[in-house]
Structure 1
Amino acid sequence: MAIALILGLIAGTSFILLRESLISNGDLDTWTLINNLLFQDISKPEANKAIGIFYIVGQLFINSLQLVIVPMVFTSITLAMCNISDTKKLGRISYKTILGFLASSIFALVLAGIFGLTAHKMGLFNVNIDNIASSEGTTGSNPLLVFVQAIPNNIGSVFSENGRVLSIVFLASITGICINTLGNQILVLKNILQDINKIITTFLTFVITKFGPIAIFVLITRTFAIYGVDHLKPALAYVFTATIALLIFLSFGYALFIYISTGLNPVKFIKKITKVALFGFSTSSSAATLPLNTKTIVEELGVNEEIASFTLPLGMTINMNGTAIMQVIAAIFIASSAGYEITVGNILIIALLALIASIGTPAAPGAGAIILFTVLTGMGYNNDAAVLAYSLILAINRPIEMLVTSLNVVGDAATAVYVSKSENNLNEEIYKA
Structure 2
Amino acid sequence: MSPLKLKLHWQILIALGLAILVGLAVGREAGLFGVTFYAIFDFVGKLFLNALKMLIVPLILSSIIVGVSGLGSGNLGRLGGKTIGYYAMTSLFAILVGLILVNLIQPGVVDGDPKEVFGFSADVQSLEAKIGDKDGGDVVEVFLRMIPTNVVAAAAAGQMLGLIFFGLLYGFFITRLPENLAKTQSSFFEGVFEIMMRITDLIMRFAPIGVFALVAKTVASTGLDAFVPLALFFLTVVLALGTHFLVVLPLLLYFIGGVSPIRHYSAMGSALLTAFSTASSSATLPVTMECVEKNAGVSNRVTSFVLPLGATVNMDGSALYECVAAMFIAQAYGLDLTFGTQFLVVSLALLTSIGVAGIPAASLVAIAIILGAVGLPLEGIGLILAVDRILDMMRTTVNVFSDSCGAVIIARSEGETHVLQSPKLAGSAPGLSRT
Correspondences of 1:262-277 after superposition (within 5 Å): 262-277=257-272
Paired residue for 1:90, among 45, 52, 76? 76
- Cα distance in structure 2, aligned partners of 1:132 and 1:164: 30
**Does the residue aligned with 1:362 lie in a helix, a strand or coil?**
coil
Partner of 1:154: none
Correspondences of 1:36-115 after superposition (within 5 Å): 88=73, 90-115=76-101
- Cα distance in structure 2, aligned partners of 1:291 and 1:308: 11
- Cα distance in structure 2, aligned partners of 1:123 and 1:160: 28
- Cα distance in structure 2, aligned partners of 1:343 and 1:394: 26
Partner of 1:337: 332
Query: What letter matches 2:387 in structure 1?
Result: I
Q: 1:123 to 1:166 in 2, by over 3 A?
A: same
Partner of 1:420: 411
**Does the residue aligned with 2:115 lie in a helix, a strand or coil?**
coil
Contact kept in structure 2, 1:319 and 1:412, CA below 8 Å: yes
- Cα distance in structure 1, aligned partners of 2:231 and 2:300: 42
1:354 matches 2:327: no
How far apart are residue 236 of structure 1 and its match? 1.9
Contact kept in structure 2, 1:299 and 1:430, CA below 8 Å: no
1:326 matches 2:317: no
Q: 1:337 to 1:432 in 2, by over 3 A?
A: same
Paired residue for 1:278, among 273, 278, 286? 273
Q: 1:123 to 1:357 in 2, by over 3 A?
A: same
Instruction: Provide structure 1 residue ranges, at least 5 long, that are not aligned to the other structure.
Output: 11-78, 135-158, 180-187, 200-208
1:165 matches 2:160: no
TM-score by length of structure 1 reads 0.60
- Cα distance in structure 2, aligned partners of 1:2 and 1:381: 36
Correspondences of 1:124-203 after superposition (within 5 Å): 128-130=114-116, 161-173=134-146, 176=147, 189-197=150-158
Contact kept in structure 2, 1:340 and 1:381, CA below 8 Å: no
- Cα distance in structure 2, aligned partners of 1:171 and 1:300: 37
**Does the residue aligned with 1:264 lie in a helix, a strand or coil?**
coil
Partner of 1:60: none
Instruction: Provide structure 2 residue ranges, at least 5 long, that are not aligned to the other structure.
Output: 1-18, 29-60, 121-131, 161-213, 425-435
How far apart are residue 108 of structure 1 and its match? 0.8
**Does the residue aligned with 2:157 lie in a helix, a strand or coil?**
helix
Query: What letter matches 2:397 in structure 1?
Result: S
Partner of 1:390: 381
Partner of 1:404: 395
Q: For residues 133-165 of structure 1, what are the alpha-carbon distances to aligned partners after superposition, in whole Å with 9 as ceiling and x for unaligned?
A: 99xxxxxxxxxxxxxxxxxxxxxxxx9744323
Partner of 1:47: none
**Does the residue aligned with 2:156 lie in a helix, a strand or coil?**
helix
Partner of 2:169: none
Q: 1:133 to 1:271 in 2, by over 3 A?
A: closer
Query: What letter matches 1:307 in structure 2?
Result: V
Q: For residues 190-233 of structure 1, what are the alpha-carbon distances to aligned partners after superposition, in whole Å with 9 as ceiling and x for unaligned?
A: 2222222279xxxxxxxxx8xx979x87xx99xx9xxxx9xx63
TM-score by length of structure 2 reads 0.60
How far apart are residue 371 of structure 1 and its match? 2.0
Q: 1:287 to 1:253 in 2, by over 3 A?
A: same
Contact kept in structure 1, 2:107 and 2:328, CA below 8 Å: no
- Cα distance in structure 1, aligned partners of 2:111 and 2:274: 31
Identity %: 26
- Cα distance in structure 2, aligned partners of 1:373 and 1:336: 16
**Does the residue aligned with 1:417 lie in a helix, a strand or coil?**
helix
Contact kept in structure 1, 2:145 and 2:159, CA below 8 Å: no
Query: What letter matches 1:259 in structure 2?
Result: Y
Q: 1:365 to 1:170 in 2, by over 3 A?
A: closer
Partner of 1:117: 103
Once superposed, what is the RMSD of the aligned Cα atoms?
A: 4.2
Number of residues of Structure 1 aligned to a counterpart in Structure 2: 304
Query: What letter matches 1:365 in structure 2?
Result: P
- Cα distance in structure 2, aligned partners of 1:127 and 1:247: 32
How far apart are residue 372 of structure 1 and its match? 1.3
- Cα distance in structure 2, aligned partners of 1:90 and 1:370: 33
Contact kept in structure 2, 1:125 and 1:336, CA below 8 Å: no
How far apart are residue 346 of structure 1 and its match? 2.4
1:317 matches 2:303: no
Contact kept in structure 2, 1:125 and 1:238, CA below 8 Å: no
Query: What letter matches 2:391 in structure 1?
Result: I
Q: For residues 272-300 of structure 1, what are the alpha-carbon distances to aligned partners after superposition, in whole Å with 9 as ceiling and x for unaligned?
A: 22332122111211122212211111112
Q: For residues 336-379 of structure 1, what are the alpha-carbon distances to aligned partners after superposition, in whole Å with 9 as ceiling and x for unaligned?
A: 10122223332222111111111111111111223211111121
**Does the residue aligned with 1:397 lie in a helix, a strand or coil?**
helix
Partner of 1:254: 249
How far apart are residue 423 of structure 1 and its match? 1.2
Q: For residues 375-400 of structure 1, what are the alpha-carbon distances to aligned partners after superposition, in whole Å with 9 as ceiling and x for unaligned?
A: 11121112xxxx44311212321110
Contact kept in structure 1, 2:238 and 2:391, CA below 8 Å: yes
Partner of 2:364: 369
How far apart are residue 253 of structure 1 and its match? 1.7
Correspondences of 1:12-51 after superposition (within 5 Å): none
